[in-house]
A and B are shown apart, each in its own frame.
Chain A
Amino acid sequence: MAAICIANNKGGVGKTTTAVNLAAGLARLNYRVLVVDVDGQANATYALTGRVHPVPSLYDVLVGDRKLESVIWQTNEENVWLVPGDGRLQNADVELAARPGREWRLAKALHGQNYDYIIIDTPPSLGVLTQNALAASHRVLIPISLTEFSLIGMDKLEATIEDLRDQLDLYDLEIAGVVATFYENTTTANDTWGILEKKYEGRVLETRIPKNLDLEKAHRENESILSFAPTSSGGQAYTQLAREVKRLVPAQPRPYDRRRSQTA
C-alpha cells in the first residue's frame, strides 16, 4: 500500500486528470487502486463514475461519522475504486477548523484499507482538506503545467509540505516528483521545462504529459484515457507515467497504516 497525493495549489494544472489516469494506468499494471476525491468540485468523481456530487460521500466521513467503507464505489475503470467527493467539501475547511486532530481525519478513516495504491486528488488550495490529503500520504506528486506563469506560487506548496512535516511529524512524507503537464513543442513550454528541470533537479519525472484534447474528451465520457483513447498521445503518456510511478513509489504488500506518531 502506497498513498500518493496529487497536489498543486494552482488550479487547472492537471491534478484530477493525472489522478484519474494514473490510477487507471496502475490498475492496468494489475494493481488495485483506490482514488479519494478530496475536492469539492468532485471532478474525479465525475470522471470515474459520471455522477455529479453524490451523497453520501467523503464529506460524511471527514465531517460526519460515516465509515469510509460505506462510501467506497466501484468505478467505470476495472480495478479502480473511488471514495467520491461532493460540493459540501467546499465548506469542510471551515467546518473542520476547530476540531482537534483535524488534519488526521482522512488518515484515520483510511486505516486498514488494503489496496496497492491510494491516489488522492486535492483541491487547488492549501487548506485543511489538502492538509488531510498530505497527512494521509506517503508521497506527493506535483503536476506542473508547462504554460506561462505556472511556476509562480510553487514555493508556497513546498513550504506548506515542509511545515506540515514538522508540525505533524510526517517524517516519511516526501515529494515523489514533479510531472510536467500540458506539454507542447512551443518556446514557452520548452523554456518552462528548462526552468523546471533546474529548479527541481533530479525530481522531475521523465514522462511529460502532452497537451491532448482526448484527455478532456475522456473526462467528459466518464472514463480514463486508457479506456477512451489508449493510443492517443495522452494515453501513451499516462501509460508511461504509471510505469514510472510504479518504479518510483513501489506498492507495499501491507494494509494502510499511517497515524500520528507522537501524541494521539
Chain B
Amino acid sequence: MDAAPVAANDQEREQHRPASLSPETLARTLRAVAAELERDPELARRISGAIAGPEAPPSDTALRQPTSEHGDTGNTDEGDKDDERVATRQKRSTFRPRLITGASPDLGPGIPDPFTLQAKRGEEGLRAALEELRLGTLRAIVREHHLDPEGKLTRQNDAARLRVLILEAVARNHD
C-alpha cells in the first residue's frame, strides 16, 4: 500500500506507540481517527473533554487508546454515549476490531422500516431509534412510506418534524 499523507501530529504520536502495533496499522488508524476528529468538531470537543476531565488518565495514554480500536472511525451521533465509549476504550488493552451496524444494530440493511421497528421495540423503542437517525434517513423513511404525499415537509430540513410525522403515521397504523 502506498504511503498516504500522515498528519504532522501522527508522527509525533508514533514515538509513543504500543509495541504490539505495526507502524502501518498505527498510522492508518491514527489517520482514520484524525480525519474523523477534523470532520467532526463536536466529537473532537467531547474527546478532548474526556482527555482533560478529572477522571481521565493523562493525555498521552488517553489519546492513544481509541486508536487500538482499529476500524472504528467512531459514530459521532450518539450524544453522551460517546463519552462512555471513550471511557470503555481506555480500559481495554487488546487490539480487537469492533464492528457495529450503525447507531442501532437491529435497523437492518437499507432504509429502516418504522413499522417493523415499532412492532419489535414498541413506541418508545421506535422513538429512541428515530432520535438517532439524521435528516437523510428520516427523509428516506418518509419517502419510502409515502408519509408526505405533497412533499411539503420533506423539502424542509427539519428532522424533529419528520420524526413526529413518522411517529404519527405509525401510531395511526397501530390503532
Q: Which residues of A line the B interface, CB within 8 A?
A: 9-12, 40-43, 48-55, 71, 73-78, 86-88, 90, 93, 123-128, 156, 216, 218-224, 227-229
A126 to B109, CA, bound (A): 29
Within 8 Å CB of A41, what residues of B?
32, 35, 73
Q: Which residue of B lies closest to A216 (CB)?
A: B39
Known: A220-B40, A222-B137. A10 touches B99 (CB 8 A): no
Taking Cβ atoms with an 8 Å cutoff, the residues of B that contact A are 1-2, 4-5, 28, 31-32, 35, 39-40, 70-77, 97, 99-103, 107, 109-111, 133-137, 139-140, 143, 157
Query: A52-B100, A124-B4 given. 8 additional CB < 8 A pairs?
Result: A41-B35, A49-B137, A76-B139, A90-B71, A126-B2, A218-B136, A221-B134, A227-B139
CB contacts (< 8 Å) of B4 on chain A: these are: 9-11, 123-125
**In the complex, chain A residues whose CB is within 8 Å of the CB of B31:** 11
Separation in Å of the B11 CB from the closest CB of chain A?
A: 15
B71 and A88 contacting across the interface, CB-CB below 8 Å: yes
A53-B100 in contact given A10-B4, A75-B140, A126-B2 (Cβ < 8 Å): yes
Report whether A223 and B136 are in contact in the complex, using a CB–CB cutoff of 8 Å.
Answer: yes
Pairs across A and B, CB under 8 Å, 28 listed: A43-B73, A49-B110, A50-B103, A52-B72, A53-B101, A54-B101, A55-B99, A55-B101, A73-B109, A74-B111, A77-B140, A78-B143, A86-B99, A87-B73, A87-B99, A90-B71, A93-B1, A123-B4, A124-B4, A124-B5, A220-B134, A221-B136, A221-B157, A222-B134, A222-B136, A222-B137, A224-B136, A228-B136
| Nearest A residue to B110, CB-CB | A74
Q: Is B140 a contact partner of A11 (Cβ separation < 8 A)? A: no
Interface centre among A12, A43, A90, A229 (most CB of B within 10 A): A90
Q: How far is the CB of B21 from chain A (nearest CB, A)?
A: 13
Most chain A Cβ neighbours within 10 Å, of B39, B100, B110, B133: B110
Q: Within 8 Å CB of A224, what residues of B?
A: 136
Once bound together, how far apart are the Cα atoms of A128 and B135, in whole Å?
35
Chain A residues with CB under 8 Å of B135's CB are: 221-223, 228
When chains A and B are docked, how far (Å) is the Cα of A26 from the Cα of B32? Answer: 29
Residues of A within 8 A of B133 (CB): 50, 222
Tell whether, in the assembled complex, residue A156 and residue B71 are in contact, meaning their CB atoms are under 8 Å apart.
Answer: no
Task: Note all chain B residues with C-beta closer than 8 A to A229.
Answer: 157
Contact of B157 among A43, A87, A228 (CB under 8 A): A228
Pick from B2, B72, B76, B157: contact of A127, CB below 8 A: B2
Q: Are B101 and A51 in contact (CB under 8 A)?
A: yes
Considering the chains assembled together, what is the distance between the CA atoms of A254 and B71 in angstroms? 37
Chain B residue numbers with a CB within 8 Å of A42 are 73
Residues in B whose Cβ lies below 8 Å from that of A221: 134-136, 157
Task: List the A side residues contacting B143 at CB < 8 Å.
Answer: 78
B94, chain A: closest CB distance, angstroms: 16
Residues of chain B lying within 8 A (CB to CB) of residue A78: 143
Separation of A262 and B133 alpha carbons in the complex (Å): 48
Residues of A close to B100: CB separation below 8 A = 52-53
> Using Cβ atoms and an 8 Å threshold, which residues of chain B touch A93?
1
A172 to B1, CA, bound (A): 25
Determine if A40 and B109 form an interchain contact, defined as CB atoms under 8 angstroms apart. no
How distant is A9 from chain B, measured CB to nearest CB, in Å? Answer: 5
Q: Which of A43, A74, A87, A220 has the most CB of B within 10 A?
A: A87
Kindly report which residue of chain A lies nearest to residue B154, judged by CB atoms. Answer: A227
Shortest CB-to-CB span from A252 to chain B, Å, is 27
| Whole-angstrom CA separation of A23 from B54 in the bound complex | 46
B73 & A52 in contact (Cβ 8 Å cutoff): yes
- Distance, CA A77 to CA B72, complexed state (A): 25
- Give the CA-CA distance A75 to B107 in the complex, in Å: 13
Could you say which residues of chain A place their CB within 8 Å of the CB of B139? 76, 223, 227
The reply to whether A76 and B2 contact each other, CB–CB distance below 8 Å, is no
